Amino acid sequence: MTVRIATWNINSVTARLPKLLEWLESAEPDVLCLQELKCSTEAFPHEAVKELGYDTAAHGTGRWNGVAILSRIGLEDVVRGLPEQPGYLADDALLADVEPRAIAATCGPARVWSVYVPNGREVDHAHYRYKLDWLESLRRAVVEDAAGARPFAVLGDFNIAPTDEDVYDVAAFAGLTHVTPPERASLGNLREAGLRDVVPRPLKYDHPYTYWDYRQLAFPKNRGMRIDLTYGNKAFADAVTDSYVDREARKGKGTSDHAPVVVDLDL
C-alpha cells in the first residue's frame, strides 16, 4: 500500500488550526506527526481533525512543548513519553519536569515516534546537557525497533542540523547549539542503531531547509536550517518513494516558522 507520512512543528495547534485543517485537506497525509502543540492533551482539537477522517493521540500539558500523531490508517499501541526519559530541572524548580516531547503509535504497517527534542539553548546551559541526555534516552527507546523488520521511523523536530550543509551559513552558527559535534554524534548513534536520515528534496533552492526564523525576512532570503528530520529503519527507508519539504506552507501570514516534511512510501 502507498502511505504518506509527514512531520510538522506547528508552533501552537490552537493558533494554527485553520492552517492545519487546510494543509490536511490539500496534502492528504495518512499519518501526521506534530510538535509544539502548546496545548494540553484535553485541549487538542480532536473533533476538528476527526471530521477530516483522522484519529489523534496527543500528549501535552499546556503552554510549552506537546506532541501528537494523527492517523487515518489506524492508531494503536500509543505510548506517551520515552521510557527512562530525563526531566528538565529549571533554576527555580524543586523537581525535574518530564516534559511532553515524545509519543509513539502503530499506524497500519508502520510504527512511528513523533519527537520534539529539547532546544539546548546555549552550550554552557543546563538545557544543553538535558538535550544530550534526552537524545540518549531516545536512542535506548528505539534501538530494538530500529533493528527490527517492521517499518519504523522517528520523525520530528530534532533541533539539530545534521551537517554544515543543513544551515544557511555555518559561520553564523559558530559556538551555538544545533551544530555542535556532541549533538551530531547523537544522530550518529541513531544511525549506528540502524536508522537512516531520509533526506527530503527542496521544492525551491538547493537545500531542504525546514525552519526559517520569523525575523529579518529569513524565509524570503532562504536563511534556513534543516532540523526537522525523518530517521527510518531499513524496512522504512527502503520503502521511500519520495520526500519533500512543503515550503508553500511556510508562506504568508499566520504560519508556523517550520514547514511540513512529507515522506511517501510503498509499504
Looking at beta carbons only, is 213 or 242 nearer to DNA? 213
Least distance from DNA to the Cβ atom of residue 247, Å: 16
How far apart, in whole angstroms, are the C-alpha atoms of residue 43 and residue 264? 30
Distance CA 86, CA 136 (A): 10
Pick from 21, 45, 64, 189: which binds DNA (CB under 7 A)?
64
75 or 135: CB nearest DNA: 135
Q: Can you tell me which of 51, 201, 215, 220 binds DNA, judged by CB under 7 A?
A: 215
The count of residues interacting with DNA (CB under 7 A) is 31
72-to-37, 225, 230, 248 alpha-carbon distances in Å: 19, 30, 20, 23
Instruction: In whole angstroms, give the CA distance from residue 126 to residue 241.
Output: 40
What is d(CA 40, CA 38) in angstroms, rounded to the nearest whole number?
7
Site pattern 179..208 for DNA (x: CB under 7 A): ------------------------------
166 binds DNA (CB under 7 A): no
* Interface pick for DNA out of 20, 166, 257, 260 (rule CB under 7 A): 257
- The residue among 174, 150, 155 whose CA lies nearest residue 164 is 174
In the complex, the residues that contact DNA under the rule CB under 7 A are 9, 11-12, 14-15, 36, 38-39, 62-64, 90, 118-119, 121, 127, 157, 159, 177-178, 211, 213-216, 225, 227, 253-254, 257-258
